[in-house]
Structure formats: structure tokens, C-alpha cells
């Protein structure tokens, strides 16, 4: 009966590997469609915040002339678009469109007593053109807030009286300044409006505004604040669907901002606009002022190439400089970063990206043929996960696979997104872990049974054992043979790890991940689980039974050295985790090293792979002779999981991820070869000189 059960397990084991391979093959056509989609957007748009320019100009002797001069410079530097924000009475006052007064100011202005019990807002338009453009907008805005507005004039200048204090009136947002919009359009800039959800949603007003913007060539809008336009009124007015319909009718898309909390309602609006979404990176005014132009260029280049950014939002601000005894700004620094042979525009052009309106990736609903392929990918992932579990719970592969299928079916019913992410995460963890286990198996196959203890005890039965703490050596394999075996095992191990990549690509082939509207959960677990599982396998599953190894570990004498090692490993682990995931922290030294790699290779290989792969290669070479070197397999798990994790950054184009992985493997292997050479030299020196040291020590003890 037991023999039949083992035969069934062996057959199922082979079947699951077949299903895993089928899943890998099924994912390839899905990956091809993503590769093709990633080629459909190659225009980059540089957008400057017009409000920043107005604020900077307000500190100049001739603000309007300054604005005109800077607009010319921006156009020459390559700034394609101007962002216009929802205006306020304060903004319009800064722009010189009108002048604001409170009741006390009007009393002084007109030389009349202030009316009792009145605290109103008074405004005078700068001229007739300003009145014609702004008066309807102001009246409509305050009518929407149920605040009464009436005409007012002073010395042949027309104005309005708004029956609310100035402090309250300036908080009410209105449409972007129509005069500024027309001026910027006439100057040759594309217009990018910014909308907030701070005012009640008015479908009629939005429809008219976007229809007018369509005539000006507006193709994309940006949202300001923590929600998209219409989010607050959506439960009552279904305003998100209404807004999406207006956007679609006018051929306009939206924007998602990187490194910021997702704006409320963005996912729904993106779906309703058929993912007509561009990713935007905002360069803060502090970075624009403090970063050198070449550093800004590197940041822009990396964002476009590695993170699928297609819009750059440029900010600047007036700054009081004590050393220069004047008000300064970062405009010239921005111009220097954009123009010239070493500027961002020229460098992006060499990469195949042109300046223009940012285009969304060509999104199409998945074709019908993808559904059966995706089902095969899911089945392959379940098989892969089952194989991993069976490596730690041997002999029960059939029930493990059945339970995995049942659990996956339940997860699919609960949430399709959780189902896809769960299987992708499971396959991503399984691939590098099984790869390390396979590598350990190959090393054990060439060493165990031919081992002798060095400086350790012998089993009670008299044969060499795997007593914890014992150092062992495996003689009989030449250095040349170990080197070629290390190459073969390193290559095969990496190939098994790479098998996890198609499952991540195939299962998470969704535009929401590409646009980072939805993120692949469990990244920290992916960075930790293979390492922990590899450590468990090294210490508990190599040698005696698991229970016997646990007993030996519990009986170990804890020395100061072990405590120091534990502290060092713990600190290294915390640092490792602090650098992973989307919120990972990076030191300035690490940033400098990354920049050097980027400039050297064009595509930056991952630092953890350049550290882990060489140590793993050295570990393979040493493990075929020294038992203690098996611990380096745990370090090797870091590089192996990184091969899969690289593709978990779904916003990164597939070609970039592929190049990054190949560079890491090749450079890592070469560095490993160098480490092996260094080890051989040091080992040769030790073999030559250690007998002499031992003899000298012996002579010293005997008094010779």
C-alpha cells in the first residue's frame, strides 16, 4: 500500500512539473501582448505650473513683462504645456485681473463711513476685457455657493460686491483663469487644466468648460487634491460616470501622479475612460532649486525608461536668498536641465522618445484567446506552489495539490484580483525557493556519502554524522571539476528561478498594474520568504531527520560569537527589508552607485543581484568541498528571488526588466569567477604556509 502511494506521488510530481512548464509556455503569448502594448506610447510631455510663474513674477518690478519673457524662454527650452489650476479671487488679484477690498478698505477708498454690521468683499476689474471674461464665472461660482453678488463701481471702473468676508471669498475655487488660458494657447503652449473636488459638481458647467477646452486642443487633465472631480457628489449624482462620459465625448484623458497616495475615485474614472491615463512625475520646487541639471536629467531619463512616466510636472517658487540679497528662483536651472546636447529632451530623443502630448498606452480588452491561456497559467502556478509545499512536507503531494486547487477556487470566488495576486505571489516565491533546493540537492548528490568530519564528533554508530556545529570536508573532486559544476548548477538554478517570471507576467497582465492604479501586494513577503525557506531547508532538511536536526539546534551552546552573528544578521535583514518594496529607503551612497551603473550599462542591474550572485557562485564552488559553505545558499536566495521580483515592478517595460536580469546574471557570474580565483589563491597560500606556522608553534612550545 505504501509502495503504491509512493508511486502515485512520483507520478503526480512529474505531472505537476509538466503543468508548471505548460503554465510557463501559456504565459508567453500574454507577455507578447504586453510587450506590444508598451510600444504604443513614446511621447513625453513637459508641463510647467503657470501659477508658480505668476507667483515668481509678483516679486519682479514688471510682472507682466517678466511673464512674457519667461514664456519665450520656456518655449525655447522645450516646455510643451502649461498647467492652469482652478483659480480664486486671490489668484486673479495676483495676476492683476482685479483688485480686492473689504468693507473697511472701501470706506477709506470712498471716504465714507463703513456701513454698520457689514463685512463684504468688494472687487474692481482691471478693465473691460477682464470684466467680460471673469464676471460671468465669478457670479456663477458664488451663486453655486448661494452667496449673493451685486454690481458695484468706483471711478468709472466696474466691479462686484460679494456678500461674504474676503477671507471666505478667496477660498472659493473657480475655473482656471480664462484670460491666462487664451494667452498661453496663443503663445503656442498646450493647456493642461487641473481640477479639484472642492466645489459641488455641476454637470452643465463642466460640460461647457470641457467643450470650450476641446476647441483649444486640451487632451488631458490633472486632478488636484486627494480626489478626482465629482468624487464627493458621486453617491447622489453619479458624477464620476457623468464626468467620464464628458471626458470620452471630448477625447480627453486623465493623469495619475507617481509617489503620491492614489486619489479617491481614480480607479473608477480610469476604468470608465477606458484607461486613457498617463503617468506623471512631479518635480518639486525644492528639487528644482537644489538638484544639479545633470541629476534632474538622470531622474527624468530613468522615469521615462524604467517607470513608464510620460508627463513631467515642473514646479518652481520664489526664494529669499540672503547671500544674494535678492529673491531668486529655479527657472534657469530647469531650462538648463531640458535644453542642450546633454539636456533631458536630447537624451530622451536618443532613446526614441519625442516631445509632445502624452499619449496613453493603447488599451484593448483582453482577446478571447487569453482566457484559456490564463487558466493554464493559473493551473501551472497552483502546481508550482504544490511542488514547493511538498518539498517541506514530502509524501503528500496528491492531497497538497487537491487542497491548493480547492483553496484557489474559493479565492477566485471571493476576489478575482486576490486570486491572481495570490497565485502570482505563490509562484514568485516557489520558483527561487525550489531553485535553491534543487541546487542543494545537486551538491548533496556529489558530496554526501563521501564526507569525513574535521574537528567534530562522530555519530554514536561510528559513522560520520551531520552534528550541528561540525565542520566537514568533501574530498575527491578537483578544483577544475568543481568550477565547471558550479557554472552548470548556477545556470540551471537561475533558469528554474526565471520560470517564476511568466506567472507574474501572465497573471498580472492588467492595465491597472501597469498604471500603478493597483499594486502587487506581498512584495515584502516575496523578499523574505525564499530566504527564510532556504535557511530552513539548509538547517533542517539536509542530513538527519527534521526532528533530529531541531533537537541538535536546541541543544547547541550559545556563545558570544553566535550572539554577535545573530545581531549582524538581524541588522543586515532590517536594512535589506528597508530597501525593498515601493516605500524602500535608499542611502545617498547607494544612489550614487546606482547612477554609476545606469550611466555605465544604460540599464541598471539590481544591486542585490550584484552582491548575491557572486557569493552564491562562490558558495557552489566551495560547497562541493566544504559543508560550512552551504550557508551561502541562503545568501544566494536573495539574488534568485530578485530575478522574479524585477518583473513584479509591472510599470517597468518588459525589455528593460529582461536586460536588467541578464546583466545581473552575467556580471554576477563574472564577479563570482573572480571570487573563486581569489579563494584559490588564498587557499594555496594557506596550504603552503600553515604547516610552517604549525611547526613554528610546536617548536615554540617545546622550547626549540
Q: Encode pLDDT of 405-454 as tens digits.
A: 999 999 999 999 999 999 999 999 999 999 999 999 999 888 875 444 43
Local confidence band at 292 (pLDDT 50, 70, 90 cut-offs): very high
Q: How far is CA 617 from the centre of its chain?
A: 29
| 604-629 mean pLDDT | 90
| Poorest-pLDDT segment among 40-49, 224-233, 295-304, 551-560 | 551-560
Cell of 304: 521615462
SS3 101: strand
Cell of 527: 523578499
Phi, psi angle pair for 212, to nearest 5°: -65, -40
Percent of the chain with pLDDT over 70: 87
pLDDT at 591: 55
| Model confidence at 156: pLDDT above 70 | yes
pLDDT at 460: 36
Q: What is the CATH number of domain 43-48+59-79+195-355?
A: 3.20.20
| 365-374 mean pLDDT | 89
pLDDT at 442: 92
Identify which of 646, 650, 649 has the alpha carbon closest to the alpha carbon of residue 638. Answer: 646
Cell of 376: 493554464
pLDDT at 11: 85
Q: How far apart are CA 556 and CA 202, in angstroms?
A: 73
Cα separations (Å) of 155 from 125, 159, 162, 595?
12, 11, 19, 63
Burial class (CB in 10 A: 0-12, 13-18, 19+), 480: exposed
Q: What residue spans define the domains of the chain?
A: 43-48+59-79+195-355, 87-174, 429-693
Residue 174, beta-bridge partner list: 87
Cell of 204: 452643465
- List CB contacts of 363: < 8 A, sequence separation 6 or more: 37, 274, 275, 276, 511
pLDDT tens digits along 29-79: 999 999 999 999 999 999 999 999 999 998 898 988 999 999 999 999 999
Cα separations (Å) of 693 from 100, 454, 683, 685, 703?
92, 19, 15, 12, 15
Q: How far apart are CA 196 and CA 174, in angstroms?
A: 10
Q: How far apart are CA 692 and CA 94, in angstroms?
A: 86
Q: How far is CA 448 from the centre of its chain?
A: 44
Q: Which residue has the higher pLDDT, 233 or 451?
A: 233
pLDDT at 587: 54
pLDDT at 367: 85
Burial class (CB in 10 A: 0-12, 13-18, 19+), 1: exposed
Average pLDDT, the chain: 87
Taking a C-beta distance cutoff of 8 angstroms, is the pair 12, 398 a contact? Answer: yes
Cell of 193: 487644466
| Model confidence at 620: pLDDT above 90 | yes
Amino acid at each position: 500500500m505504501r509502495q503504491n502511494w509512493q508511486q502515485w506521488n512520483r507520478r503526480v510530481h512529474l505531472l505537476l512539473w509538466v503543468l508548471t512548464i505548460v503554465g510557463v509556455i501559456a504565459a508567453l503569448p500574454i507577455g507578447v501582448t504586453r510587450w506590444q502594448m508598451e510600444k504604443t506610447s513614446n511621447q513625453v510631455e513637459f508641463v510647467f505650473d503657470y501659477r508658480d510663474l505668476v507667483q515668481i513674477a509678483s516679486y519682479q518690478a514688471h510682472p507682466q513683462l517678466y511673464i512674457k519673457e519667461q514664456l519665450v524662454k520656456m518655449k525655447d527650452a522645450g516646455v510643451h504645456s502649461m498647467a492652469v489650476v482652478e483659480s480664486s479671487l486671490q489668484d486673479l488679484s495676483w495676476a492683476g485681473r482685479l483688485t480686492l477690498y473689504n468693507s473697511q478698505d472701501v470706506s477709506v477708498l470712498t471716504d465714507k463711513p463703513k456701513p454698520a454690521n457689514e463685512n463684504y468683499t468688494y472687487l474692481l476689474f482691471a478693465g473691460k476685457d477682464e470684466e467680460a471674461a471673469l464676471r460671468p464665472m465669478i457670479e456663477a461660482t458664488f451663486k453655486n455657493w448661494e452667496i449673493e453678488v451685486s454690481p458695484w463701481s468706483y471711478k468709472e471702473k466696474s466691479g462686484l460686491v460679494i456678500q461674504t468676508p474676503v477671507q471666505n471669498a478667496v477660498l472659493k475655487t473657480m475655473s482656471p483663469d480664462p484670460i491666462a488660458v487664451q494667452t498661453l494657447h496663443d503663445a503656442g503652449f498646450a493647456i493642461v487644466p487641473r481640477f479639484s473636488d472642492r466645489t459641488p459638481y455641476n454637470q452643465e458647467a463642466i460640460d461647457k468648460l470641457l467643450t470650450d477646452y476641446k476647441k483649444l486642443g486640451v487632451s488631458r487633465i490633472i486632478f488636484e487634491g486627494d480626489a478626482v472631480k465629482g468624487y464627493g457628489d458621486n453617491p447622489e449624482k453619479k458624477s464620476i460616470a457623468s464626468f467620464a462620459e464628458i471626458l470620452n465625448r471630448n477625447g480627453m484623458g486623465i493623469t495619475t501622479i507617481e509617489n503620491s497616495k492614489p486619489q479617491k475615485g481614480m480607479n473608477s474614472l480610469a476604468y470608465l475612460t477606458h484607461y486613457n491615463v498617463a503617468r506623471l512625475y512631479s518635480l518639486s520646487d525644492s528639487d528644482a532649486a537644489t538638484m544639479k541639471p545633470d541629476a534632474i536629467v538622470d531622474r527624468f531619463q530613468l522615469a521615462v525608461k524604467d517607470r513608464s512616466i510620460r508627463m513631467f510636472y515642473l514646479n518652481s517658487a520664489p526664494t529669499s536668498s540672503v547671500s544674494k540679497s535678492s529673491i531668486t528662483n529655479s527657472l534657469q536651472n530647469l531650462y538648463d536641465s531640458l535644453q542642450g546636447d546633454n539636456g533631458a529632451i536630447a537624451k530622451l530623443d536618443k532613446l526614441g522618445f519625442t516631445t509632445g502630448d502624452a499619449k496613453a498606452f493603447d488599451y484593448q480588452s483582453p482577446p478571447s484567446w487569453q482566457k484559456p491561456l490564463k487558466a493554464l497559467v493559473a493551473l501551472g502556478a497552483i502546481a508550482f506552489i504544490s511542488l514547493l509545499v511538498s518539498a517541506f512536507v514530502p509524501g503528500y503531494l496528491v492531497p497538497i495539490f487537491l487542497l491548493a486547487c480547492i483553496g484557489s477556487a474559493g479565492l477566485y470566488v471571493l476576489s478575482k484580483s486576490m486570486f491572481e495576486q495570490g497565485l502570482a505571489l505563490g509562484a514568485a516565491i516557489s520558483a527561487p525557493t525550489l531553485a535553491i533546493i534543487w541546487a542543494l540537492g545537486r551538491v548533496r548528490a556529489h558530496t554526501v556519502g563521501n564526507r569525513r568530519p574535521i574537528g567534530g564528533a562522530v555519530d554514536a554508530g561510528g559513522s560520520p554524522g551531520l552534528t550541528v556545529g561540525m565542520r566537514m570536508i568533501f574530498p575527491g573532486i578537483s578544483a577544475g571539476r568543481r568550477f565547471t559544476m558550479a557554472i552548470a548548477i548556477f545556470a540551471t538554478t537561475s533558469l528554474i528561478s526565471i520560470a517564476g517570471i511568466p506567472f507574474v507576467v501572465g497573471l498580472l497582465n492588467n492595465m491597472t498594474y501597469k498604471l500603478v492604479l493597483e499594486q502587487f501586494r506581498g512584495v515584502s513577503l516575496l523578499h523574505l520568504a525564499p530566504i527564510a525557506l532556504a535557511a530552513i531547508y539548509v538547517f533542517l532538511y539536509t542530513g538527519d531527520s527534521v526532528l533530529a536536526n531541531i533537537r541538535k539546534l536546541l541543544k547547541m551552546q550559545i556563545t558570544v560569537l553566535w550572539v554577535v552573528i545573530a545581531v549582524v544578521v538581524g541588522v543586515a535583514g532590517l536594512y535589506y527589508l528597508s530597501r525593498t518594496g515601493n516605500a524602500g529607503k535608499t542611502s545617498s551612497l547607494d544612489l550614487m552607485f546606482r547612477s554609476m551603473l545606469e550611466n555605465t550599462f544604460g540599464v541598471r542591474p539590481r544591486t542585490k543581484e550584484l552582491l548575491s550572485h557572486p557569493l552564491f557562485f562562490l558558495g557552489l564552488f566551495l560547497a562541493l568541498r566544504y559543508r560550512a559553505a552551504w550557508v551561502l545558499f541562503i545568501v544566494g536566495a536573495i539574488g534568485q528571488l530578485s530575478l522574479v521580483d524585477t518583473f513584479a515592478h509591472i510599470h517597468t517595460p518588459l525589455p528593460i526588466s529582461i536586460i536588467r536580469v541578464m546583466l545581473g546574471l552575467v556580471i554576477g557570474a563574472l564577479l563570482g569567477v573572480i571570487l573563486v580565483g581569489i579563494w584559490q589563491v588564498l587557499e594555496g597560500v594557506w596550504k603552503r604556509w600553515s604547516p610552517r606556522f604549525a611547526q613554528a608553534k610546536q617548536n615554540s612550545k617545546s622550547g626549540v
